[in-house]
Amino acid sequence: MDPTVKLKGSDVDVLSDPSPYQRLIRRLLYLTISRPDLVFAVNKLSQFVSRSCKSHLVVAHYLLCYLKYSSDQGVMISPTNSFQLYAFIDSDWLLVLIQQNRLQDFFIFLGDSLVSWKSKKQNVVSHSSVGVEYRALASTVYELVWLTSLLHDLCVLVIL
């Protein structure tokens, strides 16, 4: 998604029939399961599902063009003998200046394969950067515990 595009709700160019836009966003949300590169753009577009404008539809069509020319990308699960879980965590403080929200991300790999990821605005206001980092760490640990117990139920020995 073009970072210079600022999507806003508008009363000027509201779509008379928002159902095609809503169907497109639903399909794009499903596609984010295997295409984490779309998560940010689809998340932004989905914020305007209830009151969509022509400018939102233009950005969604631009995203479809991107999909057409990048169809060979996506999450690939490669065979590996390594059952080691790796987790990467990030909290974005740049959005504090723009949106007053903190964005937390995590990515979890099993061997070389990405198996879980999340990008979410924190809904709790912290009084310090340490609190934000602890919340991001806690949500990642919850996911790691759940993945470990799932793999244990599947009789897979996991190394953390």
- Per 3-state DSSP, the chain is made up of helix, strand and coil in percentages (nearest 5) of 45, 20, 40
Q: Which of 86, 33, 85, 32 lies closest to 63, judged by CA?
A: 32
pLDDT digits (tens, 9 = 90+) for 95-114: 444 455 566 788 888 888 88
Q: Which of 149, 154, 152, 144 is nearest to 109 (CA)?
A: 144
* pLDDT for 127: 67
Spans of all domains in the chain: 1-74, 85-153
**What is the rounded CA–CA span in Å between residue 111 and residue 1?**
29
- What is the pTM assigned to this prediction? 0.57
Most confident of 1-5, 14-18, 98-102: 14-18
pLDDT above 70 for 73: yes
* Count of other CB atoms within 10 angstroms of residue 130: 9
Q: How far apart are CA 54 and CA 14, in angstroms?
A: 6
H or E, element range at 88: strand 85-92
Nearest to 122 by CA among 142, 145, 99: 99
Two structure tokens written together for 41:
């753009």
pLDDT tens profile 35-63: 878 888 888 888 888 888 888 888 888 88
**What span, in angstroms and rounded, lies between the C-alpha atoms of 67 and 61?**
10
Alpha carbons 146 and 160: distance in angstroms, whole number: 13
